């Protein structure tokens, strides 16, 4: 009986902690500059007012390549409602490979080349791909997915954030 009560208490504490994290303070996304494939420079601070997915990926990452069609579908589903998307290619990914992948797959969103690794460092020293961050309209990091996200869950989160004022 004590074991069951302990487990129930642990579950309750975990749920309460998760609720706190979901409702508590959120970390601001770094106001870091990134360079798009066409050479233009942008900053994540400029995306405030939109829900943003920031996807760290590489052309050599099997899971990244596998998830990309679903990322494209997610972007196409929500872009007219205010979703923006930045696919950040890792520093070790040759720019020519990134450009070829982007063109051959007709990626409809922004693709950045993080050739110095600065963007990955600013987002908490991202090393594993894919890693996807969800930012709310205030530029706060709401969620981080390491690996392929559960897209049904991701879509629910994006809809909730798009509905926020």
DSSP codes, 150-162: -HHHHHHHHHHHH
User: For all residues of the chain together, what is the average pLDDT?
Assistant: 88
Q: Is the pLDDT at 14 greater than 60, yes or no?
A: no
What pLDDT shows up at residue 165?
A: 72
Q: Residue 56 class from Cβ within 10 Å (0-12 exposed, 13-18 middle, 19+ buried)?
A: buried
* 27-163 has CATH 3.30.420.40 classification: no
Tokens at 115, concatenated: 């050739």
pLDDT digits (tens, 9 = 90+) for 15-65: 333 333 344 457 999 999 999 999 999 999 999 999 999 999 999 999 999
66-72, Cβ contacts within 8 angstroms, sequence gap of 24 or more? 66/148, 67/130, 67/148, 67/149, 68/105, 68/107, 69/105, 70/148, 70/151, 71/132, 72/105, 72/107, 72/108, 72/109
Q: How far apart are CA 1 and CA 98, in angstroms?
A: 57
Q: How far apart are CA 57 and CA 147, in angstroms?
A: 10
Q: Where are the domains of the chain?
A: 27-163
Q: Is the pLDDT at 80 greater than 50, yes or no?
A: yes
What pLDDT shows up at residue 7?
A: 40
Q: Which residues, listed in sequence order, are joined to residue 154 by a DSSP beta bridge?
A: none
Q: Is the pLDDT at 12 greater than 70, yes or no?
A: no
CB-facing half-sphere around the CA of 76: CA atoms within 13 A: 9
């Amino acid at each position: 009986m004590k074991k069951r009560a302990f487990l129930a208490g642990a579950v309750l504490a975990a749920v309460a902690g998760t609720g706190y994290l979901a409702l508590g303070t959120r970390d601001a996304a770094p106001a870091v500059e990134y360079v798009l494939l066409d050479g233009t420079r942008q900053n994540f601070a400029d995306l405030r007012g939109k829900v943003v997915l920031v996807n760290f990926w590489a052309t050599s990452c099997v899971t990244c390549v596998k998830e990309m069609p679903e990322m494209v579908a997610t972007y196409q589903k929500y872009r007219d409602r205010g979703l923006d998307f930045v696919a950040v290619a890792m520093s070790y990914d040759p720019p020519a490979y990134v450009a070829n992948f982007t063109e051959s797959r007709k990626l409809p969103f922004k693709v950045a080349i993080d050739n110095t690794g600065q963007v990955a460092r600013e987002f908490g020293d991202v090393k594993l791909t894919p890693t996807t961050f969800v930012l709310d309209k205030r530029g706060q990091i709401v969620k981080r997915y390491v690996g392929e996200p559960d897209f049904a869950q991701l879509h629910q989160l994006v809809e909730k954030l798009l509905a926020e004022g």
